[in-house]
Amino acid sequence: MNILLVQPYNNYKYDYQKLYDQVLKIIEKKLVDLVVFPENFIDRVSENEAWEIVEGLAEFLDTPVICGISFADGTERALYVNWAPAEGETVDSVFIKHSSAEKLVFELEKDELEDPELYEPILLNGQRIQVYICHDMFFPLVTEKLEQEGLDILINLTGGNVKMSKWCNVLKGRSIELDTTVLCTMANRPDMKQPSDRISFKSGERLKANYKLGNGEKTHAFSLFSTDDPVIEEVTVEHLYSDKQYTQFTVGLDEDADCTIDLDKWEIYSSKLLDAGEEETSLHLTKNGESIHVHVANYEELFDRTYFYKQSKAEEGHHLVIYLSYGPINEEEAIALMKLRAIENRIGCIVVADNLFVAAKTNRYKDIQLFKATDNKIGFDLQFMQGINGLFQNSASSKQGIPVRFKEQYLSLLKVPENTK
């Protein structure tokens, strides 16, 4: 499938028809199966107006279209229209944002929330396409729900410029755990100082556009990606490791660490701190008045985005997951997934294998800190490791993330044990 990502330039001051004409010229020269516009491409319109706009755009381009639109009710939505579907293909569909919006999907009327089509994929060219909007990609249960409903291609619509390393950490990780193509387009707003781009990863590999027009600096830009004939971009990945050596909580292979990894017995224990629990794969420790919950898992669990949600854990405290491998592992794959788990779960992560002993956690803004073991030991500062509780905003009026009042509805996207709530 050939997917054209559109990156409009300016702050809602587009000459829309000129932009549409540019897209049409590309379609006339290149095979395009789907055109994707970013989040909030159309601002503050009613539901009827939104559908009229996207239906008219799909008709003008004579090509299926996904378009991000801000509704007058405060929701952020992605509308899809295909005027010439083959038998069994989707004619129209809508995806609604779960986070960082004036009104979230959780606030819809009950009949809308219970609509079985709410998470159904778009069917096009034999592929199941799922869409989520901007920050929704940071929440693992949204991705889990979309995959449960059927997913061959995942597309993210982002509304503006971003911290590119953070976006790529998530997009790359998602492409590995899903083992598929993940794409993202975003608006380019000159009043925002961070970069904007059109991005695609396939199973962890960064893709080059098969065709592109414009560099996005002061003009609209377009990238055409092929899922059938992907072009791998040769990228030299250099991970930046922190030189910090924290002592608030340490994990190592020797008993001088607060938590010791026994590679012979394939278990963790503490010879220094009292374990308040009696679980085979978890420790519940206290150090200097701080509660630390440590879980140990096989390396294969790193590929399971729901693993952390299935563990027994207390509401309060700091959380750390240690993934152990019996043999050598793919270092790049492991680090990419470890970054994703630290970001999406607000936890510390450690991977220990024959060829690797590294850790990751995030700062306040979900930027990654990576650590290499020093003398077979890694330390954490116990900041921004609150686990699931750290995902939610305490302010009921917050327009960032998911307010804590919607915690139960978010968790209901996956059936989880009672003790995780």
Q: Does residue 138 lie in a domain region?
A: yes
293 vs 357: CA distance, rounded Å: 20
- What pLDDT is stored for residue 335 in this prediction? 98
365 vs 374: CA distance, rounded Å: 26
Q: Does residue 165 lie in a domain region?
A: yes
Q: Does residue 398 lie in a domain region?
A: no
232, 267, 295 - which closes a domain: 232
pLDDT, one tens digit for every residue, the chain (421 residues): 999 999 999 877 889 999 999 999 999 999 999 999 999 999 999 999 999 999 999 999 999 999 999 999 999 999 999 999 999 999 999 999 999 999 999 999 888 888 888 999 999 999 999 999 999 999 999 999 999 999 999 999 999 999 999 999 999 999 999 999 999 999 999 889 899 999 999 999 999 999 999 988 889 999 999 999 999 998 777 899 999 999 999 999 999 999 999 999 999 999 999 998 878 899 999 999 999 999 999 999 999 999 999 987 666 899 999 999 999 999 999 999 999 999 999 999 999 999 999 999 999 999 999 999 999 999 999 999 999 989 999 887 778 899 999 999 999 998 654 444 4
Q: Which residue has the tokens 């921004």?
A: 384
**Which residues constitute the domain of residue 137?**
2-232
The residues, ordered by sequence, that sit 6+ positions from 84 with a Cβ below 8 Å of its Cβ are: 62
Say if residues 8 and 67 touch (Cβ distance below 8 Å).
no
Residue 157 parent element (H or E):
strand 153-158
Q: Does residue 198 lie in a domain region?
A: yes
Q: Is 331 exposed, middle or buried (0-12, 13-18, 19+ CB in 10 A)?
A: middle
Q: Does residue 113 lie in a domain region?
A: yes
Q: Is 103 exposed, middle or buried (0-12, 13-18, 19+ CB in 10 A)?
A: middle
* Same domain? 228 vs 255: no
Q: Does residue 408 lie in a domain region?
A: no
* Same domain? 273 vs 212: no
- What pLDDT is stored for residue 421 in this prediction? 40
358 vs 356: CA distance, rounded Å: 6
* Same domain? 253 vs 213: no
* Same domain? 313 vs 172: no
* Same domain? 371 vs 263: yes
CATH number at residue 79: 3.60.110.10
* Same domain? 212 vs 304: no
- What pLDDT is stored for residue 400 in this prediction? 84
Tokens of 401: 């993330």
* Same domain? 217 vs 254: no
How does 125-158 read in b/e, with b if 16+ C-beta sit within 10 Å? Answer: bebbbbbbbbbbbbbbbbbbbbbeeebbbbbbbb
* Same domain? 302 vs 270: yes
152 vs 388: CA distance, rounded Å: 28
3-state secondary structure of 138: helix
* Same domain? 219 vs 311: no
The residues, ordered by sequence, that sit 6+ positions from 330 with a Cβ below 8 Å of its Cβ are: none
232, 261, 278 - which closes a domain: 232
- What pLDDT is stored for residue 12 in this prediction? 75
Q: Phi-psi region for residue 174, left (φ > 0), alpha (ψ -120 to 50) or beta?
A: alpha
- What pLDDT is stored for residue 313 in this prediction? 65
Report how many domains make up the chain.
2
Q: Does residue 145 lie in a domain region?
A: yes
Say if residues 297 and 324 touch (Cβ distance below 8 Å).
yes
* Same domain? 257 vs 226: no
- Residues 193-213 have pLDDT tens digits of 899 999 999 999 999 999 999
Q: Does residue 238 lie in a domain region?
A: no
How does 227-239 read in b/e, with b if 16+ C-beta sit within 10 Å? Answer: beebeeeeeeeee
* Same domain? 76 vs 224: yes
The residues, ordered by sequence, that sit 6+ positions from 245 with a Cβ below 8 Å of its Cβ are: 374, 379
* Same domain? 258 vs 150: no
Tokens of 129: 């396409």
Q: Nearest-CA neighbor of 9 among 273, 157, 278, 196?
A: 196
**Angle at which helices 164-178 and 331-345 pack, to 10 degrees?**
110
